Copies of this chain bind each other. A is one copy, B any other.
Amino acid sequence: MDAHPAVAPPLYSAKTFDPKTGFGRLLSQVKMELMEALDRELAPLDITGAQYVILVTLAEGPVDSTSGLCKGVSYDPGAMTRMIDRLERKGLVRRIRCPDDRRKINLELTPEGKAVYPRLIESVVAVLNRYLRGFSRDEIAQFETFLKRMLANG
């Protein structure tokens, strides 16, 4: 029934698992270091890692509502309102009342926002390249496959 030859059933066990060196800790550490490195990289632009996520999403085209944006990046609506406030104060994002549906508020990057976008990408690429130094393309592809398989298991 199972065509996969190398699939082992048990994996971790409560008897042998060591949380100090375990998988979760490792993953958290990597994520945290990447985020910190990105924050340092973006500090000159006065943009945080959390704001980066919003900006790159908007860069791929305007968004028809903040709630759509929330779902896309799994973010709380209240937090999103205030996040947009900050980005608007910085002049990177613009709120536009939607004429069709006055509940909605369309969002788009300002020219300033569009202008910083390339630097955002450069920053994240630089961080990734640094932390993935020594990886072959095959290894990265497999790494990504591992991560996607975990998500699919969720």
Q: CB distance B149 to A57 under 8 Å?
A: no
Looking at chain A, what size class is its interface with the partner chain? 35 or more
Interface flag for A81 (CB, 8 Å): no
Interface flag for A79 (CB, 8 Å): no
Take A31-B31, A143-B146 as given contacts and tell me if A22 and B128 are in contact as well, using a CB distance cutoff of 8 Å.
yes
Interface flag for A33 (CB, 8 Å): yes
Residues of B within 8 A of A154 (CB): 33, 37, 131
Q: CB distance B11 to A135 under 8 Å?
A: yes
Interface flag for A71 (CB, 8 Å): no
Measured CB to CB, the nearest residue on chain B to A38 is B24
Measured CB to CB, the nearest residue on chain B to A28 is B31
